[in-house]
Amino acid sequence: MAASTSWRAVGRRKTASARVTLKPGTGVIVVNRESVDDYFRRPTSVMLLKQPLEFVDMLGKFDVFAKVVGGGKSGQAGAIRHGISRALLEFDAELRATLKPTGCLTRDSRGKERKKYGRMAARRRFQYSKR
């Protein structure tokens, strides 16, 4: 365990970027100065960002404070998940063996595919008309 009382990291997903701070506490999660349940309406988003803490059995031991900008709610949840994972490594580097196989430390680099000419969107074609 490090000598610091808080651990910080940055997580990214799609176009979202999250600055995450972990502090010893009771398990409170605050995103952009709001409760996690108020900020993310979908329970799947809340479940996603809690995954790293569940994998290392530290769900009620840290308070998480996240400042997230850019992207949509899904990308922001993924960015916070990535930031929590990296902050946990700052806390204890031996947790890498647990977090790495679950994919929490990998930055998901998938982004939006660009629109192509002659198409409505990236792959969507215009409607075919026989007559």
Is 116 domain-assigned?
Answer: no
The predicted pLDDT at position 131 comes to 87
Is 79 domain-assigned?
Answer: yes
Widest pairwise Cα distance in the chain: 74
Is 120 domain-assigned?
Answer: no
Q: Around Cβ 59, how many Cβ atoms within 10 Å? A: 13
Tell me whether residue 79 is exposed, middle or buried, using C-beta atoms within 10 angstroms of its C-beta: 0 to 12, 13 to 18, 19 or more: buried
CATH number reported for the structural domain that contains residue 49 in this entry: 3.30.230.10
Q: Give the span between the Cα atoms of 19 and 83, in whole angstroms.
A: 7
Q: Which two tokens stand for residue 54?
A: 């569940």
Residue 32's domain comprises 7-99
Q: Give the span between the Cα atoms of 106 and 96, in whole angstroms.
A: 11
Number of structural domains in the chain: 1
The predicted pLDDT at position 3 comes to 60
Is 119 domain-assigned?
Answer: no
pLDDT profile of the chain (131 residues), mean per 10: 80 95 94 95 93 92 95 95 95 93 92 94 94 87
The predicted pLDDT at position 124 comes to 96
The predicted pLDDT at position 47 comes to 95
Residues in CB range of 36: below 8 A, 6 or more apart:
29, 30, 46, 49
Is 126 domain-assigned?
Answer: no
Q: What is the CA radius of gyration of the chain?
A: 18
